[in-house]
Amino acid sequence: MVVVALIVVYTVHSFISVPGTVTASVPTSFTVNGRSYTFTYIATTQAEREQGLMNRRITNATTMLFAFPSPVAQPFWMLDTNTSLDIIWVNADGNAGTVVYLVTGAQPCYDSSACTIYSPSSSANYVIEAKAGFAAANGVRAGTSIELA
């Protein structure tokens, strides 16, 4: 029974990880509905994407960009985050992006075998995480335009 549990945890962790490093330049800021934000954290490698916001202090101003080598329907989980987050999948061509999927108020979890997996219905080359409430405060929903810089 223990072996089965370890396999499940490993499979979920592997499922969440996307291999590859983004070698092209990545945005350091974004604008949505006239408001501009600088990314607090940027993840361009598999290791950085796996770490995400786990065990980091998250404030109302915290934003993280996850960049992927190519568009993918990348699932996320909230293991060891200290607060609920909004997860925003953005597909971009150059500096122009569109929100293709959104989860608001994703709850943290502290047991990897019990974490909810948030899976988008569309592929995206970027994901933005921000403290829960960010999307509502900025009018973000599927179809919203996001300018990346």
Q: Tens digit of pLDDT per residue, the chain (149 long)?
A: 444 333 333 333 334 567 889 988 999 999 999 999 999 999 999 999 999 999 999 999 999 999 999 999 999 999 999 999 999 999 999 999 999 999 999 999 999 999 999 999 999 999 999 999 999 999 999 999 999 99
Domain ranges of the chain: 27-148
CATH architecture for segment(s) 27-148: Sandwich (2.60)
> What's the whole-model pTM score?
0.88
8 Å CB contact between 32 and 98: no
C-alpha distances (whole Å) from 85 to each of 10, 24, 33 are 24, 27, 20
